[in-house]
Amino acid sequence: MSPAQNNTIPAKAYAVFADDSPFKVFDFERRTPRVDDVVIRIHYCGICHSDIHHVYNEWKKETYPLVPGHEITGVVEQVGSSVKHFSVGDHVGVGCVVDTCLKCEPCKKHKEQHCPDVCYTYGSTELDKVTPTHGGYSNLVTVKEHFVCKIPNNLPLDAAAPLLCAGITTYSPLRQYNVGKDSRIGVVGLGGLGHMGVKLGAAMGAHVTVISTSESKRNDAIKLGAKAFLVSKDKEQMKTAANSLDLIIDTVSAPHDVNALIDLLKFEGVYCLVGAPPKPLEIGAFPLIMKRPIITGSNIGGMKETQEMLDFCGKHNIVCDIEKIQATPETIKTAYDRTVKSDVKYRFVLDMLNAFK
Amino acid sequence: MTSKQAAANTPSPISIAAKGYAVDSESTPFKLFNFERRMPAADDVVIRIHYCGICHSDIHQVYNEWHSSKYPMVPGHEITGVVEQVGSSVKGFRVGDHAGVGCMVDSCRKCATCKKDIEQVCGDLCLTYNSTELDKVTPTYGGYSNLITVKEHFVCKIPKNLPLDAAAPLLCAGITTYSPLRRYKVDKHTQLGIVGLGGLGHIGVKLGAAMGAHVTVISTSESKRDDAMKLGAKVFIVSKDDEQMKTVANSLDLIIDTVSAPHDVGPLLNLLKFEGVYCVVGAPTKPLEVGAFTLLMKRPTITGSGIGGMKETQEMLDFCGKHNITCDIEKIDATPETIKAAYDRTVKADVKYRFVLDILNAFK
C-alpha cells in the first residue's frame, strides 16, 4: 500500500463510536514520519482496564471515535532523518504517552506523564490540541522517538506488551521507595497490575506479601514469587501481618477498606495507590497521627524510567502472564467482560499483526 | 529515745500527698481529688506544678469521646513548673530549675523506636494521664494537680527567658506542630499552609514563620485575618471562598491541618504543589475522604503527626527560647467552674489561643 497524499499513511484500527456501541473497523491515517518520528508496525497490544473505563465513558470525558490501547509492541518500519536510537527492524514499545512539551519542570525531571500538555496515546490530542490521538488496537502508529522504548531482544513481544503500562505502573513506586532485599512489601490485588508488582518486587529481592479478597489466588501468588498471602477480609490473618510492611502497592480499583491496609504498615511505612477506585478513599485520622505513614499514589512513569524498567525485565527475564487472543470486535468484547470479572491470568493481549485480514 | 533514734525508727514516707482536679465519669463535674505521687526514685524529678494548659484532647478524654477513658481522670499534659526534688542519679536537673512535662511520662527505653528518640511510638508508652505506668496497673494522673513525679528522661528544661505560663502549651501544641515542620524541612524556601487558627494553628504559624517559611493561613472565618497576619502569616484565605482558594491553588509545599471538626480535604489538597505534603495533626473523628485521581495525578504525601519524641521536644523548646516564642494564652484560676467554662469556650473555638490554668495558686 503506497503512502497516501497529504503526509499521511493509511491505517486500520478497531474503534468505538459511542459509549454503548460495539467495536468496528476504522480506516484512518497516521502521520508520515517527521524528522524525529518512528513508524511502528504494531504486533501486539495489551488490554488494560483503563481501556474499558474509557470505552464505556466511565470517566465521563470521552470523545469518539475512540481507538484504545496503550500497551503496544511492534517492529520499527520507518525512521525520520534525525532519529538516533532506532533502526528499521528494532523491537519497540509505546505506552500511555506519545508527546509532551519537553520543556517544563516535570518533563525535565523525566516525569513527562505530569506535563500539563501531556498527549496520551489515545482519547487525547496531539500538542496542537486538535489532532486526536488513536491507540494500539491498530496496525500502525507514528510516535516521536522520545516516547518509544526498546524492547530487549530476549523478551517476546506479546508477553512484553503489558509492561508498557502495567509494568511501569508497578515498577515506578518500587523504585521510588527503594525496594530491595531488606524490604517487606505488600501487593494488594492479583490482576494485571498486581501480578507484575509481585514479579518485579520479588526480582528486586523483596519479601512480597499478596493481599487478596480470594483464597483461591494463594497458589498463584506463591508461584509468581510471593512469600506470604493474606485474605483481606480475614481479620485474624490480617492481624498476623500488622505493623510489618515497609510499602504497600494497592492495585485494586473496586471499593475497599484502606484503613485495614494501613494497619499492616510499619511506622512511617508507605501506602501507594496505583488502581483507580471511583469512590474516594476513606482514611482515618488516628492511624495517620499515630503511624505517620506516607499515603500517596503513582501513575505510570516517565520515559527514562520506562526504558529502565524494560531493561530490568530483560535482565531478569520478566514478562507478563498473558492470554493472547485474536483481534476482532467479538473477541475484544469478550475479553472486556472477562477482565471486569477478573477472569484472566493476567492480561489479554491482542494479536494485531494478524488482524484486519 | 533521742529524737534521732525516733526519726530512725519512723518509716520513710513512700509517697507524697498531692491535690488535683479529677472527674469521676464522663458526665460529672470536676472535683477536688486527694491522691499521691511517688517519692522520687534515683532517676525521678519532682516538680511543683505552676501552670497547665488546657488541650482539646483533655476535653475529648474527659467526655470519653475516644471511648478509652478511665476514671477518676486528672487531665493535663501541658505542664510547667519548678523542680522541687531530684533523685540521686539525676544529672540534667537541679532544684529550682524551670521544667516542663508533656504527653508522655515513661516508655520502655529499649525498643527500636525508643532508641531512635521517637518514644511516642513505643508499645509500652505511658501517657501523662488516662494511662498506666510501666507496671500496667498504676494509673497516671496529669497536670491539673499541684505536684508530679516524672522520670528525668521525660522532663524538659524550659529556657529561662520563656515565662512558664505562656510556655506551658508548647509541651503539646508546640511539639505537635514543630515536629512535622522539621520532618518536612521547612525553611525560607517553603510555601507553608496552616489550616485552622486555634491552639495548634496559632503556634504552627509562629514556628513556621520563625523557620523562614511563607505562611498562608486557611480558615473558615474572615474574622481571623488580622490575627493571622499579626502572628506571622503572609496570606490568609477563607476555605469556603472558592475564588480565594483558587489564588493559592497548586502553590503549597506543605499543609499542616490542625482542624478536628469534620471538613473537606479535597479543596485543601488542591492547594498543594505536585508531590506536596498534607499533614493531619488535628483529630477529626470522621475519616478523611481522598479521591483516587488526586493521589494518582498530584502524588501528594498524605500523612499525620502526633507530638514528638523527648529529644525533639527539648529541641523545640530551645528553638522557642532562641526565637522568643511562646503561646498566646488566656490565663485563668483553676477551679471546677473555671475549667468547665474554659472547656465550653474551647469547643466553640472562643479563645486566643489556649487556656492556661494557674495551678500554683489553686487548691487554697
- At residue B260, the pLDDT reads 87
Residue of B nearest to A257 (CA): B287
pLDDT in tens, B287-310: 999 999 999 999 999 999 999 999
Query: Chain B partners of A259 at a C-beta cutoff of 8 Å?
Result: 287
- At residue A60, the pLDDT reads 76
Q: Which three cell numbers stand for residue B341?
A: 467554662
- At residue A357, the pLDDT reads 81
Name which of B277, B275, B279, B346 is nearest B306 in CA terms. Answer: B279
Pair B102, B167: CB distance under 8 Å: no
What is the nearest CA distance from A293 to chain B, expressed in angstroms? Answer: 6
pLDDT band at B3 (very low <50, low <70, confident <90, very high): low
Q: What is the DSSP letter of B297?
A: H
Judge whether residue A253 has pLDDT over 90. Answer: no
Judge whether residue B323 has pLDDT over 60. Answer: yes
- Chain B touched by A60 (CB under 8 Å): no
Query: Chain A partners of B285 at a C-beta cutoff of 8 Å?
Result: 285
Residue of B nearest to A266 (CA): B121
pLDDT in tens, A49-80: 999 999 998 877 888 999 999 999 999 999 99
SS3 A98: strand
Radius of gyration of chain A (CA): 20
What is the nearest CA distance from A125 to chain B, expressed in angstroms? Answer: 19
How many angstroms separate the Cα of A266 from the Cα of each of A184, B179, B221, B290? 10, 19, 38, 21
What is the nearest CA distance from A64 to chain B, expressed in angstroms? Answer: 23
Q: What is the predicted ipTM?
A: 0.91
> Options 3.90.180.10, 3.40.50.620, 3.40.190.10, 3.40.50.1970; which CATH number does B14-172+308-358 get?
3.90.180.10
pLDDT in tens, A91-124: 999 999 999 999 999 999 999 999 999 999 999 9
Distance CA B143, CA B51 (A): 8
Query: Chain A partners of B293 at a C-beta cutoff of 8 Å?
Result: 276
- Chain B touched by A130 (CB under 8 Å): no
Structure pTM? 0.93
> Options 3.90.870.40, 3.40.50.720, 3.60.70.12, 3.40.1010.10; which CATH number does A167-297 get?
3.40.50.720
What is the nearest CA distance from A331 to chain B, expressed in angstroms? Answer: 30
Distance CA A251, CA A258 (A): 12
Q: Do A285 and B113 count as a contact with CB atoms less than 8 A apart?
A: no
SS3 B240: coil
Instruction: Tell me the residues of chain B between 265 and 284 that have a Cβ less than 8 Å away from chain A.
Output: 266, 274, 280-284
SS3 B284: coil
HSE-CB for A291 with a 13 A CA cutoff: 26
Domain range list for chain B:
14-172+308-358, 175-304
Q: Do A267 and B121 count as a contact with CB atoms less than 8 A apart?
A: yes
Compute the C-alpha angle A167/A169/A172, nearest 5°.
100
> Options 3.40.50.970, 3.40.50.2000, 3.90.180.10, 1.10.1200.10; which CATH number does A8-165+301-351 get?
3.90.180.10
Judge whether residue A1 has pLDDT over 80. Answer: no
SS3 A24: strand
What is the nearest CA distance from A25 to chain B, expressed in angstroms? Answer: 32
Q: From the list B294, B300, B303, which residue is nearest A288 (CB)? A: B303
- At residue A2, the pLDDT reads 47
Name which of B137, B155, B183, B135 is nearest B301 in CA terms. Answer: B183
Pair B214, B343: CB distance under 8 Å: no
- What does the buried/exposed string (b/e) look like for A200-209 if buried means 16 or more CB atoms within 10 Å of the residue's CB? bbbbbebbbb
Mean pLDDT, residues B201-226 taken together: 97
Pair A313, A168: CB distance under 8 Å: no
Q: Which three cell numbers stand for residue B1?
A: 529515745
Judge whether residue A126 has pLDDT over 50. Answer: yes
Distance CA A191, CA A346 (A): 5
Domain range list for chain A:
8-165+301-351, 167-297
Distance CA A122, CA A137 (A): 10
Burial of A282: CB neighbours in 10 Å, binned 0-12, 13-18, 19+: middle
The CATH number of B175-304 is 3.40.50.720
Element (H, E) at A39: strand A37-46
Distance CA B89, CA A156 (A): 71
Q: From the list A278, A292, A297, which residue is nearest B303 (CB)? A: A292
Q: Which three cell numbers stand for residue B83?
A: 523542680
Q: Do A297 and B121 count as a contact with CB atoms less than 8 A apart?
A: no
Q: Do B292 and A292 count as a contact with CB atoms less than 8 A apart?
A: no
Choose the mutation target among A244, A288, A298, A300 for the interface with B, i.e. most B CBs under 10 Å.
A288
Write the DSSP assignment of B194-213 as a string of letters.
Answer: EE--SHHHHHHHHHHHHTT-
Peptide bond into B343 cis (omega under 30): no
Judge whether residue A332 has pLDDT over 50. Answer: yes
Q: Which amino acid is at A296?
A: T
pLDDT in tens, B232-291: 999 999 999 999 999 999 999 999 999 988 899 999 999 999 999 999 999 888 999 999
Contacts of B337 (CB under 8 A, 6+ apart): none
Q: Do B292 and A106 count as a contact with CB atoms less than 8 A apart?
A: no
Q: Do A267 and B291 count as a contact with CB atoms less than 8 A apart?
A: no
Mean pLDDT, residues B59-69 taken together: 95
pLDDT in tens, B191-205: 999 999 999 999 999
Instruction: Tell me the residues of chain B between 290 and 319 that have a Cβ less than 8 Å away from chain A.
Output: 290-306
Name which of B23, B42, B43 is nearest B32 in CA terms. Answer: B23
Judge whether residue A269 has pLDDT over 70. Answer: yes
- At residue B1, the pLDDT reads 56
